[in-house]
Amino acid sequence: MHGLGELESAIMDVVWAAEGAVAVRDVLESLRPDRALAYTTVQTVLDKLCRKGWLTREKHGRAFRYLATATRAQRTARLLREVLDESPDSAAVLLHFAQSVSAEESAALRDVLGEDGRRR
């Protein structure tokens, strides 16, 4: 994900895949098959993601539980919006993007925009 390091992205994948708030131990266990990480490393990255606004945390007993502030789709949409906002010719960017989408993605866009080209 744009703006995140490799470990931050891996941790966000775990948080997004969870069905609610996660503890440091939950994240650590999910990452363990692929990585040898210390508990404190995961805790530090989770805290950093809170400071960056990607996560919120709430106290549960003596530990914190972490929750994403937005879904993966919402974050990705914001990144696309930032790309369009930074471009001097957003229409050209949209045109090139539209030419690169799959038939399924094109159908989804048409469905969202409706017959008259306006958002529903």
Residue 28 within a domain? yes
Residue 118 within a domain? no
- CATH at 18: 1.10.10.10
Same domain, 14 and 63: yes
Same domain, 30 and 78: no
Each residue's pLDDT, cut to its tens digit, for the chain (120 residues) gives 567 999 999 999 999 999 999 999 999 999 998 889 999 999 999 999 999 999 999 999 999 999 999 999 999 999 889 989 999 999 999 899 889 999 999 888 888 888 665 665
Residue 88 within a domain? yes
What is the span of the domain harbouring residue 96? 72-113
pTM listed for this prediction: 0.79
To the nearest 10°, the Cα dihedral for 16, 19, 20, 24? Answer: -70
22-23 and 63-68: which strand pairing? Answer: antiparallel
Count structural domains, the chain: 2
